[in-house]
Structure formats: C-alpha cells, structure tokens
A and B are shown apart, each in its own frame.
Chain A
C-alpha cells in the first residue's frame, strides 16, 4: 500500500484529507515542518501532499519549502504541493526543488487523487526500471547556461553516484566507469568531490 504523508496545518482540511485517503492508502499526518521531517525520518514515504504555508509563517512558503528540501534529500518521495499561495515565485521555488506536482487550493479531490495516481505510476515505473538496472540521475541546470555546463553536471553526478556506490573506492569506480584511475582522480579534483561525512 502506498505510504502518504499529509503535511497541512489546517486541522479541518487535514482530517478530511486523511479520511478521503485512508481507504486506499496508508496515511500519516503532520501539522508543521518539524513533525513532518520527524515522521519522514522514521520511515520514508512514497508520496507527500505538502501545504507550503505552515506555522509559524503561514503567509510565506518558507516552512513548506524546508519540508520539501528535506523530504527530497532523505527519500525518493514524490511531492505534491497543495497550497493556497498562488504567486509565481512560490510555484517556481517548489518546482526548482523538484516537486512532482503543484496544485492550487481549492482543488477538487478528483484532481488530487489523479495526481497521486500519476505519482504511483511513476514510482512503479521507476521501480521496474531499477530492476532492469536503469537508474535515474537527477540534475537541474538552466538551459541558458549552455550545453557545456549541462554536460559537466551530468558527468559530475554520474561520477559522484558511482563513487558513493563503491564507498569512494577509486579502483572499483574507475573500473565501473571504464576510465583510468588517473582520469578519475582528475575528475575528483576538478569537481571537488568528497566522501559524505556519514558515508
């Protein structure tokens, strides 16, 4: 069963959203950013429905964006923003962080369910691709910055992923990437790559 986290400060909406979803999904609720983060740290969620205006700053997206950043850094969770904050800046900030969908309140429940079903489809397809050995490497770059930057970012992400997978074993990584160890050392220096403290 799909695990969904509902992050919404309005108790009335939150409880009704949970009621609507509980039949089909395993739903957990949180009313503020720290509670949402603490729930996600216990066990990752497949989908999170996140309101941007959370206390203490309900009129600003800062708390919601904080939740999005942390959820995406600790899991592959698909994030659906459900917010009343309709400014272009809010939408851009959320999309830049890599949210799956951006819905403006008020929405019909059918729209929200449609978005969750799409997220479910993405998750199952990604799992299928992973089984086939295809892994997604994400990178975001402004097209206006040119292709060279895009290529470098892709290179950097691939090398970093392989190094992390091998526990920063340069010999193994070079073998997987099909390059000489010297070349890999060059890239590590070029991109200033280092092992994560907890790795």
Chain B
C-alpha cells in the first residue's frame, strides 16, 4: 500500500516537473522568437512593410500553420491572404490614416496553446501599429517642414528678386552724377541687409551642417556685433573695447551674432525699451561672448536649440539650432540661461 502511494507521489512529482520544464521550454522558445522579431523590426528601421516581409520564417519557427494580413497606409495597401480553413486568431484596427489587420492560424502542436498564439498575435499587431504610426507621423512632419522650408526660401528669394527689380529701375532712372552718388550711398546702406538675406537662404539649406568653409582668423568681435546691430537699428551696451581681437571663423561667428541680434530685435518689438548688453572675455583656452538682454526670461533654455522649435508664428525654427551646430563646428558651444539680470546667450569659442 505504502509502495503504491510512494510510486503515485513520485509519478505526480515527475509529471509536475516535466510540465513545468515543458512550459518553461515553450515560453522561452516563444520569448526568443518575439525578441528576435522586435530586434529585426528595429534593424529594418521600424518599417511595417519590411516587418511583414520578414514575418514568415519567424512564424514558421513558432509552429504557426498559416497567416494573413492587410495593411493600408500612405494610400498604399499590402495584402496576404490566409488560405487555411482552420480557425484563426485575428486583430484589427482602422483609423482615418491607416488600417492594420493580422490573422494567424495556430499550429497543431498541443503544447502551443491558443494563449501563446494570442500573445504572438498581440505582439505582431502592436509592432505593426507602432511602425505605421512612426512612419505616418514622420512623413507628416517631413512634409510639413519641407513646405515650411520652401515657404521660407521662397520668401527670401522673392525679396532678392524684388530688390533686383527696384535696383534695375533706379539705375535706369538716374541720369546725373548726383543721382549716381546718392544711389551708391543707398546701395551701401542696402548691402549688409542683402548679405544677411543671402546668408539666411544658405543657412536654411545647410542648417544641419556646421559652417566649415572658413579658417580661423583674427577678428574684432565687437565691430562685428556693431555691424550686425546696425542692420536692425539695435543699440549695443558694452564694456569691451571695440578693438579687442579674437581668433575664430569669421563666417560662423557672423551667423551666430546676426542670429542672436535678430532674435533680440524681434523681442524688442513686443517688449519696447529693452536693452542688449554684449561683452567678450578671454580665458586660457577659450573666448566667451556674453549676450544679455533686459527683457523677459527664456521659457525653456534647452528647447530653443531644438530643430523646428519656434516661438514665432509660422517660424521655421532652425536659427538657434543652426547656430549651435555652427558653434560646435568652431570647437565651441552656444548655451542659454536665465540670470537675475536677464536672459543670457553664452558663446564659448575654443582657441
């Protein structure tokens, strides 16, 4: 009697251990497949079409009998029909922008229960849905930004052509020496603004690249600040001597100075009477330019350097992003902070 009880106990224990091991084995096998699937999706750049194309070997490995899908987004559709007559597990979502449908027929192996297949369907469905969302959002953002960039460049090019049209008219109208001299004076006045306009077009087109087209040279930064301020009629307060010399890339420095002064000018339109203080100091291994204004604080000192972030209506949001790239290209850094005396832009240029 005792022997029988003992045998029954041992048998039960063996069954429990074997079941546990089997479940562990199956679970690990499926988890391995799922993690490979996730990794492959990442390698494929979160592309739902690539995910569907690479799905078959994974599902075969998981013992799936057959599968089907329907994917619609960006006005294109991808279909694979499930030809099996067996009962399948499906998952479906339909929105204004996309439709994702997945249909999987579980395998015959008993151990691979419906539950595990359901987990697999859920994972594939979520991966597809996330990929489609990533692709549609990225495409929408790219289209929007491309339109904004086009509008921005269009605006500046139209202004350049307008300038040429008026200049052409003026050249035809002038008929005496006094007139020519007056026109030359007006052109001298126009030139800095025109240069800034042309630089802006170039910056908009090359906003992701640092300015590399110049070599460091001896510059007088305060003179550059005064020149840029002159374009916008901005008064500069400074304790730095105008003839202070630093070594830096002229074009890059000019882009940063012009951008910060233009931002101050824009701010001064809504915050009348604010002042701009600019100073330059020299340390052992670097120069620091400090632009402080007496206006309201910066809402987010890091966010303003993000590409396409703009506080302006329909602003492109590449100015400060480009400036930070330019500063990095010069071996320096552009940062912003709010101090007790007002918001400050700090440009550190390595020697």
Which residue numbers of A lie inside 8 Å of B, CB to CB?
A: 10-13, 15-20, 23, 31-34, 53, 55-60, 62, 82, 84-85, 105-110
Given the contacts A58-B155, A106-B161, A20 and B169 also touching, CB distance less than 8 Å: yes
Residues in B with CB closer than 8 Å to A57 are: 312-315
Q: A58-B155, A60-B313, A84-B159 are in contact. Are A107 and B165 (CB under 8 A)?
A: yes
Q: Of the candidates A16, A33, A110, which one forms a contact with B163 in the assembled complex, judged by CB atoms under 8 Å apart?
A: A16
A11 pairs with B155, CB closer than 8 A? no
Which residues does chain B contribute within 8 Å of A106, judged by CB atoms? Answer: 158, 161-162, 164-165
The answer, among A11, A17, A58, for a CB contact under 8 Å with B193, is: A11
> Closest approach, in angstroms, between the C-beta of A16 and any C-beta of chain B?
4
Question: Does A59 lie within 8 Å of B191, measured CB to CB?
Answer: no
B152 at the interface (CB under 8 A from A): yes
**Also in contact, A12 and B269, with CB within 8 A (given A84-B155, A84-B159, A105-B159):** no
Tell me how far the C-beta of A82 lies from the nearest C-beta in chain B, rounded to whole angstroms: 8
- 19 sample A-B contacts, Cβ–Cβ < 8 Å, listed by A number: A10-B193, A11-B231, A12-B159, A12-B197, A13-B166, A16-B170, A19-B166, A19-B186, A34-B269, A56-B265, A56-B267, A58-B312, A59-B151, A59-B315, A82-B162, A84-B154, A106-B164, A106-B165, A107-B165
Please name all residues of chain A whose beta carbon is closer than 8 Å to the beta carbon of B165 when the two chains form the complex: 106-109
Closest to B193 in A: A11
Cβ contacts under 8 Å, A82 to chain B: 162
Asked whether any CB of chain A lies closer than 8 Å to the CB of B182, the reply is yes
Which residues on the A side are within 8 Å of B170 (C-beta)? Answer: 16, 19-20
Whether a CB of chain A sits under 8 angstroms from the CB of B190 is yes
Say whether B182 contacts A19, CB under 8 Å: yes
In chain B, what residue has the closest Cβ to A17? B166
B285 within 8 A of partner (CB): no
Best-buried of A23, A53, A59 by chain B (most CB within 10 Å): A59
Binary per-residue interface labels of chain B (3-44) against chain A in the complex, 1 for a CB within 8 Å, 0 otherwise: 000000000000000000000000000000000000000000
Interface flag for B272 (CB, 8 Å): yes
Q: Which positions 149-181 of chain B face chain A at CB distance < 8 Å?
A: 151-152, 154-155, 158-159, 161-167, 169-170, 173
- The reply to whether A13 and B272 form a contact with Cβ atoms under 8 Å apart is no
User: With A13-B159, A13-B163, A19-B183 given, can you name 16 additional A-B contacts, CB distance below 8 Å?
Assistant: A12-B194, A16-B186, A16-B190, A34-B272, A56-B266, A56-B267, A58-B155, A59-B152, A59-B155, A59-B312, A59-B313, A59-B315, A60-B313, A105-B162, A106-B165, A109-B165
The minimal Cβ–Cβ distance linking A20 to chain B, given in whole angstroms, is: 5
The residue in A11, A12, A17 that gathers the most chain B C-beta atoms within 10 A of its C-beta is A12
Best-buried of B165, B270, B312 by chain A (most CB within 10 Å): B165
CA A84 to CA B148, docked complex, whole Å: 14
| A32 to B265 alpha-carbon distance, docked (Å) | 10
Q: Assess whether B340 is interfacial by the CB under 8 Å rule.
A: no
Do B197 and A10 touch (CB < 8 A)?
A: yes
What's the least CB distance linking A67 to chain B, in Å? 12
Decide yes or no: A10 and B189 within 8 Å by CB, A56-B312, A62-B313, A108-B169 being known contacts: no
Report whether A60 and B314 are in contact in the complex, using a CB–CB cutoff of 8 Å. Answer: yes
Q: How far does the Cβ of A54 sit from chain B's closest Cβ, in whole Å?
A: 9
Please measure, in the bound complex, the distance between the C-alpha atom of A57 and the C-alpha atom of B269, giving whole angstroms: 11
Q: Are B266 and A84 in contact (CB under 8 A)?
A: no
Q: Shortest beta-carbon distance, A65 to chain B, in Å?
A: 11
| Residue of A with least CB distance to B310 | A59
Chain A residue numbers with a CB within 8 Å of B163 are: 10, 12-13, 16
| Cβ contacts under 8 Å, B151 to chain A | 59
CA of A190 to CA of B186, assembled, Å: 57
Closest Cβ–Cβ distance, residue A6 to chain B (whole Å): 11
Interface assignment of B336: CB less than 8 Å from any CB of chain A? no
Complex Cα distance A61/B253, Å?
31
B158/A11 in contact, CB under 8 A? no
Contact present for B182 and A55 (CB under 8 Å): no
Report the minimal beta-carbon distance from A49 to chain B, rounded to whole angstroms.
Answer: 11
A105 near B161 with CB under 8 A, answer yes
**Contacting B158 at CB < 8 Å: which of A32, A62, A84?**
A84
Task: Knowing A15-B190, A19-B186, A20-B173, say if A55 contacts B269 (CB, 8 Å).
Answer: yes
Residues of A within 8 A of B57 (CB): none
Known contacts A12-B197, A106-B161, A107-B165, A56 near B189 by CB under 8 Å: no
- In the complex, which residue of chain A has the Cβ closest to the Cβ of B230? A11
Closest to B263 in A: A56
